[in-house]
Chains A and B, each alone.
Chain A
Amino acid sequence: MNFEFSQEQELLREQARGFLGDNCPARVVRAVLEGDSQQSVELWGKIAEMGWTAAVIPEEFGGLELSYLELCVIAEELGRAVAPVAFSSSVYLATEAILAAGNQEQKEHWLPKLATGEAVGTFAFSETHGRPTAASLTTVASGGKVNGTKLPVADGIVADFAVVVAGSSQGDGASLYLVELDQAGVSREVVRTLDFSREHAKIDFNEADAQLLGGDGSGWDATQQLLNRAAVLYAWEQVGGADAALEQAKEYAMGRYAFGRPIASYQAIKHKLAHMYVKNTLARSNCYYGAWALNSNSGELALAAATSRVAATQAFVNAAQENVQTHGGMGFTWEFDCQFYYRRAKLLSVNIGSEAHWQDRLITAYEQTNAA
């Protein structure tokens, strides 16, 4: 049995934690949250220099060709640091979409730039309230032009290109398109979200030049595969955030005195933190399963991804909420950092589909596993 990261991967974690401690401390998150987007740009540059954006890209396209386990380690550390960068959009989604569906030319064009961090990609899927289906997509493409509106697109302001999910009359009813965002047919505006350390956008496509990514009419299935892969990496970010929120709650409870003793000595607080720990531990263990399935291209990926994702969403949202609660009134102030986790936990929990959505996917995958 070897259900742990290797020594080399643990070294990478140590290095990543040290790097983010130096370059992404709370004051950087706060600066970006308060509008200093230059700090986010600088952090992105340093992250790219570390090679993290190149982690799983093959060497022939300028990447480091590390395994997905390394990427999981990086994701967890970015989650701990609540890093205010487009890493998930660009690496877990845009890069993965091109790796999975891109032709040689598309890979040669985009992957080296994604590897160096020079290009930032994102994934443009959501259009309106509720759970999207292929039939609900109003964004459509024909003759190399895409029309429609995507709302919200995570990191849509900083991104250079988007992988756009558009409706199709072919196959499974959807196709993926690569669309450069700095062109006449594209207009973007900032959408205020609850975590504005990650700028979101409303993007209008009006006869924008678009390049088919993968087959016409295979985009819905490609999207589901992409979401499964991304879900594992999101889950690691969420687990990182959940542990950081628990640590913050613990530290505060140890130092805060009420009625002459640390509040951490009251069972109401101890049990709250113990239950946070339990949820976080279950989520982490499930994420190991997800990491294994992602890294080994297992047939169980759909089940493993949903299991990781549901557990991690529940853990992070719970930890973020109870962290604020443990801080009492101070946790509700702008001045305290509890808000970082509270915002990011909810953002990540809906960003690639809600808890309910992934619960449903989990049972669907369970049914398929048992039917097989």
Chain B
Amino acid sequence: MDFGDTEQEAQFRSDAHAWLEANAPSAGELDGLDEIAASKLWQKRKYDAGWACIRWPKEFGGRDASAIDQVIWNQEEAKFDAPGGVFMIGQGMAAPTMMTWAAEEHKARYLPKLASGEEIWCQLFSEPAGGSDLAALRTKAEKDGDDWVINGQKIWTSGAHYSDYGILVVRTDPNVPKHKGLSYFFLDMKSPGVEIKPIKQISGGANFNEVYFTDVRIPDSQRLGAVGQGWQVAITTLMNERASIGGGGGGVNVDLAYRIANKVNIDGKPATEDSAVRAKLANWYVQEAGLRFTGYRSMTALSRGEIPGPENSIGKLVGAPKSQAMASFCMDLLEMTGAIWDPELSEEAGLLQASYMAAPGGRIAGGTDEIMANIIAERVLGLPQDVRVDKGIPFSEVPTGSS
């Protein structure tokens, strides 16, 4: 039992690091570029050198690398403050779905441009009436000649406003049980009838959009899977949500909380000497370390050519509430100044307050805490599903609320 790389892994790590060292964009290079332009610059450079989407087949712009190489690459790239978040959905979710379900000419047309960063994709799944219960979505598609005509509304679409393409799940038959009436498409986001409206969040930012479809036409050739097979295709997408191996860091962590506790006093002594403060810090340390070492165990499985166990699914369920609790606690440590978000006046330039205001999103996006607990209960522990009153009845007869 050790933390070291195998010889082969060490070689790969050193090659990757050397290339990054020589090629990662400098601050000066990125100066004046917005996030998208900066991300595209970096992605193209990686693509040209064969370091983009390294697990993909070479024919689609990848490197045919192993899963463990991907983890090592991620770790090494994270050491350089390189941009790239805008490609996550396209490369991480849309691309694997295309690889499994798309026609060969579509793979050849779209995958290399996903890898090179030339084209950005978004994911059009959630709806006002279909969140945790995704299959309850209502956006409908009706066949008209060789096209499908889409009407309805999607929500929580990250990056819709700068995306070139989107993956879309719609209802093609409301008269069968809900999972059976869905179909899956990809579409050009510049299609006529697509309207994008940003959603302002409680944090003040606007990372998500509402996307409205009014008589949007999609060629039938852009359907992935059979008509009515959309749920099965969507599962491919959802299973490919990036495994955040070896993640952590960023935002409020134990190191930051300790530093703040050491700066402020309780009864004239540093808060780090207070036993209640120490107990809380210890609990969070245990959680952070537990997630880190769980990541190492997953890496070991990958390193041995095995598929990591489901233990990796706990990351978000532990990490998101922890971020919220830690931001809240650090603000408490500051006592009355804890409310100040003004970067000039607040401790850590407003990071705690920003983290606190962003935290609810972390507990909801990509599966709420409650859904994550259900996933662990059902897929890891094998507990039965809850009774579903919509099971086996046509979607059009499923009871709905007022909104």
Binding site for B on A (CB under 8 A): 1-6, 69, 250, 253-254, 261-262, 264-267, 269-271, 273-275, 277-278, 281-283, 285-286, 288-289, 291-292, 295-296, 306-307, 310-311, 314, 356, 358-360, 362-363, 366-367
Give 6 closest A-B pairs by Cβ, nearest first. Answer: A282-B290, A270-B377, A359-B282, A285-B293, A274-B376, A3-B296
Chain B contact residues (Cβ within 8 angstroms of A): what range? 35 or more
Beta-carbon contact of B294 and A285 below 8 Å: yes
CB-defined interface of B367-378 with A at 8 Å, one 1/0 digit per residue? Answer: 000100110111
CA distance A307 to B1 in the complex (A): 18
Interface residue from A262, A288, A363 paired with B282 (Cβ < 8 Å): A363
In the assembled complex, the Cα of A289 lies from the Cα of B2 at a distance in Å of: 9
Contact A1 B317, beta carbon cutoff 8 Å:
no
Among B3, B283, B286, B386, point to the contact of A1 (Cβ < 8 A): B3
Q: How far, in whole Å, are A125 and B257 apart by their CA atoms in the complex? A: 35
Task: Tell whether, in the assembled complex, residue B373 and residue A362 are in contact, meaning their CB atoms are under 8 Å apart.
Answer: no
B contacts with A: majority SS: helix
Pairs A–B under 8 Å by Cβ, sample size 30: A1-B9, A1-B68, A2-B1, A3-B2, A3-B296, A4-B1, A254-B383, A254-B384, A265-B384, A269-B383, A270-B373, A270-B381, A270-B386, A271-B370, A271-B374, A275-B373, A281-B290, A285-B291, A285-B293, A285-B311, A286-B293, A292-B1, A311-B286, A359-B282, A359-B283, A360-B275, A362-B285, A363-B285, A366-B254, A366-B258
Which residues from chain B contact A269 at a C-beta distance below 8 Å? 383
The contact of A356 among B3, B279, B292, by CB within 8 Å, is: B279
Interface string of B287-318 (1 = CB under 8 A from A): 10111111011011101100000010010011
With A1-B3, A1-B68, A283-B290 as contacts: A278 and B376 at CB distance below 8 Å: yes
Chain B residues with CB under 8 Å of A283's CB are 290
- B281 within 8 Å of A (CB atoms): yes
A283 to B291, CA, bound (A): 10
CA gap between A350 and B378 in the complex, in Å: 34
Chain A nearest CB from B103 CB (Å) reads: 38
Tell me the bound Cα distance from A362 to B386 in angstroms.
40
Q: Are B374 and A288 in contact (CB under 8 A)?
A: no
Q: Which residues on the B side are within 8 Å of A281 (C-beta)?
A: 290, 294, 311, 314
Is A360 in contact with B287, judged by CB distance below 8 angstroms? Answer: no
The listed residue with most B CB atoms (<10 A of its CB), out of A254, A271, A367, is A271
| Distance of A275 Cα from B383 Cα, bound (Å) | 13
Looking at the complex, which one of A2, A295, A307 makes contact with B4 (CB distance below 8 Å)? A2
Check if B400 is an interface residue, CB within 8 A of chain A. no
Which of A4, A265, A288 has a CB less than 8 Å from the CB of B385? A265
Taking a contact as CB atoms under 8 Å apart, the answer to whether B376 and A285 are in contact is: no
Q: A4-B301, A274-B377, A356-B279 are in contact. List 11 more A-B contacts (CB 8 A).
A: A2-B300, A270-B381, A273-B377, A275-B373, A278-B317, A282-B291, A282-B318, A292-B3, A311-B286, A360-B275, A366-B258
Contact residues in B for A3 (Cβ distance below 8 Å):
1-3, 293, 296-297, 299-300
Q: A261 touching B387 by the CB < 8 A rule?
A: yes
Question: When the two chains form their complex, are residues A274 and B294 in contact, meaning their CB atoms are under 8 A apart?
Answer: no
On chain B, the residues within 8 Å of A282 by CB distance are 286-287, 290-291, 294, 314, 318
